[in-house]
Amino acid sequence: MDISGGSVLVTGGAGGFGSAAARRLGGLGAKVVVADVADERGEALASEIGNGAQYVRTDIMSEDSIVNAVEAACRLAPLRAAIIAHGGPLPDDPGGRTIRKDGSRVSVAHFAHYLSVYLTSAYCVSSVAAEAMAKNEPLRSNQRGVIVNTASIAGFEGQPGQVPYGAAKGGIISMALNLARDLAPLGIRSMAIAPGTFLTYAFAQMGNEAAQERFGPLVLNPKRMGDPDEYGMLAQQIVENDFLNATTIRLDGGQRF
């Protein structure tokens, strides 16, 4: 799909995955909306991308805020792609294994919070974006848009203490196919990317070298953490290649647990 005349919404756009995708798609001539709550990084990225890119402060826990971001993108140009790469606020109570060492269980509120941050919000962005894309004039092969969600290898092989997160990301994996089937009559594709261990802002806080030493050896080949631009490269290929649809692509250097 040629998005040079369209707009792109990137939630979590100021983060590692989001900013990489925003730069890549902005480089194709799309008008990018960087949707995030990291004001300084978001404004700087929009300025760097240029071509009318905008930063729109977006709370992914608020449907109204998501609708506002989608509307901002549509005002720039027809919305052709939504890259959903956001995280979200941490829960109020602690997590861990379902039954912790002290014998207490992880609360239902903790579990529900992860589903809200990583799954419900992703559905909200997907559905609001799809509603806007359905109004587009079709391009080649009757294509109106594409939605790219971000899963995780934890959705396939969650580790101890990851029940809430793994369940949410497993939902993203399931949603990729179901959304594609729902949206196919409208010419809208749905895909998901399942990253492994990447050197995003969350890991960079411990220092790039320390993070690489700790997590790089977990990757089969190459023996390093992923570069967020490798996520951006795949997001770009998904957007451009109309025959990529209805599945989740692992992006993990062969990492398995």
Residue 257 has a pLDDT of 79
Active site residue ranges: 165
Half-sphere exposure of 18 (CA within 13 A, CB side): 27
Q: Any idea which architecture 7-198+228-251 has in CATH?
A: 3-Layer(aba) Sandwich (3.40)
H or E segment and range at residue 208: helix 208-215
Per-residue confidence (pLDDT) for residue 205, from 0 to 100 = 78
Peptide bond before residue 222 is cis, with ω within 30 degrees of 0 = yes
- pLDDT tens readout for residues 123-164: 999 999 999 999 999 999 999 999 999 999 999 999 999 999
SS3 251: strand
Each of the 257 residues of the chain gets a pLDDT tens digit; together they read: 999 999 999 999 999 999 999 999 999 999 999 999 999 999 999 999 999 999 999 999 999 999 999 999 999 999 999 999 999 999 999 999 999 999 999 999 999 999 999 999 999 999 999 999 999 999 999 999 999 999 999 999 999 999 999 999 999 999 999 999 999 999 999 999 999 999 998 887 789 999 999 999 999 999 999 999 999 999 999 999 999 999 999 999 999 97
pTM to 2 decimal places: 0.97
Cβ within 8 Å of residue 200, ≥6 positions away = 15, 16, 17, 228
What gap in Å lies between CA 145 and CA 79, rounded to an integer?
A: 7
Nearest to 3 by CA among 236, 233, 224, 198: 236
Report how far residue 70's alpha carbon sits from residue 59's, in angstroms, rounded to the nearest whole number.
12
> What are residue 63's phi and psi, to 5 degrees?
-60, -40
Length reported for the chain: 257
